[in-house]
Structures are given as structure tokens and as C-alpha cells.
Structure 1
Amino acid sequence: MKLGVFSVLFAQKSLEETLDIIQAKGLEAIEIGSGGYPGKAHCDPDVLLKDEQKLNDFKQLVSSRGIEISALSVHGNTLHPQKDIAKGYHNDLIRTIDLAHKLKVPVVNTFSGCPGDHEGAKYPNWPVAPWPNDFQEILKWQWEEKIIPYWTEIGQYASDWNVKIGLELHGGFSVHTPATLLRLREAVGEVIGANLDPSHMWWQGIDPVESIKILGKNNAIHHFHAKDTTIDQNNVNRYGLTDMQSYSNMLDRAWQFRTVGFGHDLKTWSDIISTLRLVGYDYVVSIEHEDGLMSIDEGFSKAVMNLQQVLLKEPLGDMWWV
């Protein structure tokens, strides 16, 4: 495995400065935002696809430091019921797939999106209960009329360019659990896989180790984020795990994101890393920093330090004892 970082935490710095920082930390990979919510601070497909010299300069800037691009990330809601909003995210996704092909980057990370509840809807509707039956009717309509048709088309497009789609399992979007990811994968094909982030498993009450087993047995993990979560049970008792308070209200929230090792101990993280290898995932572990109690530099540095203790880097040899 290789240790990398999702570069959006350094969006205020140039790509060159960012690469120097991660090289100095001994990292071997970078995941770069290319539109949607992550923005285009380090990578603008519109620019790079139109100018061969700028594209070559971009590639040289990264490769000259011995760093690989693990994924381009263009998270957004391409299924948003407001067509202008959806179109913007869709265009970013298409251009990112095109760029990934030219750069020979194997994975494009994004969200599944979440539609509204009918053709005239204005806002997304995320059903999370089977009753009253209206929710089941909404969910059925969303999957049959929006989610599967859209991702079937995008999946074919990405396959044609030899690019895989890594969907982040994130609350608020239609694909948010191992089961929903596998449902879409079954309908669309193996081009669809997970950009698995354990932080989103914990707050949904899902054991990340077991989610890795479920997805890994289906060869359905395309990319992996390293981010932690802490759960405050007293606040859970008051607000539940679907706590709608702002992330900035950290003292009262039911859960909050933390840097690696500050939500769960390193034994837990060693189990996560070991299970990734157990199911055959030997690609990049990409650090994502969203810790409201630490500066970017401190949170990033501590994540690197903790993960370096548990990451399995060397290739497997023969079992000499067998």
C-alpha cells in the first residue's frame, strides 16, 4: 500500500507547494480535486484538456517528485433535481473522466448524488425510513428513474476510457452504505466501486472492518480515504446519529470528524489496514483532513505519523511456515 493525501486541505497553496509538503512527509500519492465540491485549485480539467503543454507541465510537476496521482475527485450531486445545478456537476464529472484517461489515473471519485422525489422537485430527498410508505415509493422512483439510468450511462462512458468510478459512501446521498453501493454495482457493472471512508461508516453505526469485508469480497473497493470519527453518546441520546447541527457546533454534536487516531485507537486502524490487505486492496490510503480541533498542518502530520505505524507497504512473500 501507499500513503497519500487528498490535496484539498492545501487548496490555499499552489500545487507545487503542496507536492513539496507531501514529499517531505514521505508520502507517495496525491488525490487531486478537479471540480464539484473539492474545487479546481490544483487541477482544472477545462484548462488541461485544451492545452497540451500545460497538461505535460502538470504531469511533470507531479512525476518529478516520485508521486503518483491516486485519483481525481469531483464530488457533487449530478442527480440534483434542479437541472442547472445537476448539469454543472455532470459537466465537471465528464471532463474529469476525460482528464483521468489522458493522465492514466485509474479512479475518479465522486458521490452518487441524490434526486428529488418527483420530476418537478426543487431539492434532493434522502429517504431513510421504510414507513410511512411514501418513502418507499420515493426510493423506488429514484432508483428506477434516476439513479440506475444515470450511472449506467456514466459507467459506460468511464469504462470506454478505462476509468473506474469510486463512489464515496456518504450520508445525504443515495449510495451511502455497502448495500446501496453493491445494488448500483450490480445494475451498472464493475466500473462502479467504493471510495471507502471509514469515518462515514462509524457515524452510520457500520463497522468499517466489516464494510471492507463486504465490499472487498466483491472486489468493490476502488479507493480508500483515511479519516476518523468520534461519537459522543450523551449527545447521540439527545440528537441521534442523524444530528443536523452544524459541524462547527462540536461540543454539542452527536459525532464529529477527527484525524486518524483521535477517534479510534491504532489497533482499530491496524485492523482496518489488515482487512484491506486481506480482501486484496493494495492501493492508496488517502488522508482526508476535516478535524475541527486541529490545524491543517497538525492534523495532517498526526495522521501521517499514525498511519505510518500501521500501513502495510511491503509486497507479500510466500508463507514460508506453511
Structure 2
Amino acid sequence: MKLGVFTVLFSDKQFDDMLDYVSSKGLEAIELGTGGFPGDAHCKIDELLHDEAAIKQFKQKVADRNLIISALSCHGNPLHPQKSVAQPADELLNKTIRLASKLGIPVVNTFSGCPGDHENALYPNWPVSPWPHDFQEVLKWQWEEKLIPYWKDKNDLAEAHNVKIGLELHGGFSVHTPATMLRLREACGPAIGANLDPSHMWWQGIDPIEAIKILGRENAIHHFHAKDTIIDQQNMNRNGLTDMTDYAQMKDRSWYFRTVGFGHDGKTWADMISMLRLMDYDYVVSIEHEDGLMSIDEGFTKAVENLKPVMVKESVKEMWWA
């Protein structure tokens, strides 16, 4: 298993400087944004896609630092009811899949998207209650008319390019739990899996270790983010899980993101890493730092320090004791 980082953190650094900095921290992998919400500071997709010389140089710079690229990430909403939002996200996903194939990167990360509630809607509709029954009708329409047809096509595209798609289970999008992840995978194909981020499990009341079990048994974890969350029970009692308080108003929120080890202890993170290995995930743990209480450098550094002791680096070849 390798420790990496989602380099959107270092968007202010030039590509070479970012690589040097990450390498100096003893990491082995980077996850790069190609656009959408993560931006494209370190991976200009249109400059690389049709330029073999640029691709060769790009790959060499990464290899020279003894790094690998774990995933390309283009988080957006390709199912947004407004075409001006959905179409660029869809085009970016297609390009990112093709570039990942050219670079030999096995995973593309994104969101499932969230449609509206009818063809002429203006905004996404995220149903989270089974009653009144209107929400069930919305959910049925979204899955049958939008989600499944769209992701069936993307599954086929990804398979044709020998790439897997890691959907981040995130509130506000149609795939946000292990159950919705497995429903989409069953309907669309095995190239569709999870970019599992425990931080989004905790605030939904889901134990990430159990989520790893549920998804891991179906071989449905394609990538893993390392980010923590803290629950403020007093605010939770007031606002509930689906808290709409702005992220910047941390004192008033039910939950907020923390760097690794500052929401849950080292034993919890060790148990997660161990469960990943038990479920045959032997790829990259990619740090994502969105802690509003720490600077980029401090939050990232503490995440590295807290994860290194619990990472499982060597797989067991045989059980010598039995």
C-alpha cells in the first residue's frame, strides 16, 4: 500500500516544485486534478492529450521523484439539469478517461452527479426522505432516466480504455452511500466503483470500517481518500446531519472536516487501513486536506505523520504460523 496526496492542496506551486515538495515528505503517490472542482493546476489536459512528447516528459518528471500517479480527478456534475454545467463536466470526464489511459493511470475519480426532478429543471434535486411519496417518484425518474443510462455508457468507455471510475460517495450527489454505490455498479458494470472517503461516511452516520467491508466484498473500492471529520453533538442536536450551515461557520456546524487523526484516533485509522488490506485493497491512500483549523502545510504534514505509522507496506505471502 502506498501513501499519496491529492495535489489540489498545492495549486499555488509549479508542477516541478509540487513534485519536489511531495517527494520530500516521503510520499509515493500523487492524485492530480484535470479540471472541474479540483482545478487543473498540475495537469493541463488539452496540452497533454494529443502531445506524445509532452506526455513522455510529464511521466518522466513523476518517475524521477520515485512517485506514481494514483488517479486523475475531475469532480463535477455531468448530470446537472443545466446543459451549460453538465456538458463541460461530461466532456472533461471523457477526456480524463482517455488521458488516464495514455498515461497508464488506472483510476479516474469524480462524482456520480445529481439530476433535477424533470427534464426542464434548473437545479439538482437530492431526495433524502422516502415520504412524502413525491420524493420516491423523483428518485425513480433520476435513476431510470438519467443515472443508469449515463453511467452504463461511461462504464463501457472506461473498460474500452482499461480504466476504472472511482465515484466519491458525497452528500448532494445521487451516489453517496455504499448502497447507492452498489446499486449503480450492479446496473452499469464493474468499471464503476468507489473513491471511498471516510470523512463523508462519518457525517452520514456510517462507520467507514463497515463501509470498507460492504464495498470491499464486492471488489468495489477503486481508490481511497484520507480525510477526517468531527461531529459537534450540540450543533448536531440543533441542525441534524443534513446541516446547511456554511462551511466557514465552523462554530455553528454539526460537523466539519479535520486532518487525519484530529477527528478520530490512530487506532481507528489503523483499523481502516487493516480492513482495506483484509478486503484486498492494496493501492493508494490519498491524503485530502480540508481542515479549516490548520494551514495547508501544517494539516498536510500532520496527516502524513499520523498515517505513516499505521500504513501496511508489505503484503503477507504465506501464513508461516499455520
With the length of structure 1 as denominator, give the TM-score of the two structures.
0.99
- Deviation, 1:50, is 2.4
Equivalent residues of 1:35, 1:93 under 8 A apart: no
> How far, CA to CA, are the matches of 1:50 and 1:140 in structure 2?
40
- Deviation, 1:49, is 1.0
- Deviation, 1:61, is 1.0
1:269-288 → structure 2 map (5 Å cutoff): 269-288=269-288
- Deviation, 1:44, is 1.4
Where 1:263 maps in the other structure, the secondary structure is coil
Where 2:307 maps in the other structure, the secondary structure is helix
> How far, CA to CA, are the matches of 1:35 and 1:147 in structure 2?
22
- Deviation, 1:103, is 0.2
> How far, CA to CA, are the matches of 2:292 and 2:216 in structure 1?
31
Equivalent residues of 1:230, 1:264 under 8 A apart: yes
Determine whether 1:88 maps to 2:88.
yes
Determine whether 1:181 maps to 2:181.
yes
Q: Deviations over 1:23-65 (max 9, x none)?
A: 1111000000011111111001111012222221111111111
**Moved segments of 4+, more than 4 Å:** none
Provide the residue aligned with 2:100 in structure 1.
100
Length, aligned pairs only = 322
Partner amino acid, structure 2, of 1:238: R
Equivalent residues of 1:197, 1:227 under 8 A apart: yes
Provide the residue aligned with 1:236 in structure 2.
236
**Structure 1 gap segments, 5+ residues each:** none
Partner amino acid, structure 1, of 2:36: G
Partner amino acid, structure 2, of 1:119: E
> How far, CA to CA, are the matches of 1:296 and 1:38 in structure 2?
15
Where 1:299 maps in the other structure, the secondary structure is helix
1:173-252 → structure 2 map (5 Å cutoff): 173-252=173-252
Provide the residue aligned with 1:121 in structure 2.
121
> How far, CA to CA, are the matches of 1:316 and 1:24 in structure 2?
28
> How far, CA to CA, are the matches of 2:315 and 2:216 in structure 1?
18
Equivalent residues of 1:203, 1:231 under 8 A apart: yes
> How far, CA to CA, are the matches of 1:34 and 1:231 in structure 2?
32
Provide the residue aligned with 2:74 in structure 1.
74
Q: Deviations over 1:151-178 (max 9, x none)?
A: 0011101110000000000000000000
> How far, CA to CA, are the matches of 2:110 and 2:44 in structure 1?
16
> How far, CA to CA, are the matches of 1:87 and 1:58 in structure 2?
28
Provide the residue aligned with 2:290 in structure 1.
290
- Deviation, 1:315, is 2.2
Provide the residue aligned with 2:24 in structure 1.
24
* Cα root mean square deviation, aligned: 0.6
Provide the residue aligned with 2:158 in structure 1.
158
- Identity fraction in percent: 70
Provide the residue aligned with 1:255 in structure 2.
255
**Structure 2 gap segments, 5+ residues each:** none
Q: Deviations over 1:8-30 (max 9, x none)?
A: 00011111111111111110000
Q: Which moved more, 1:55-64 or 1:23-32?
A: 55-64
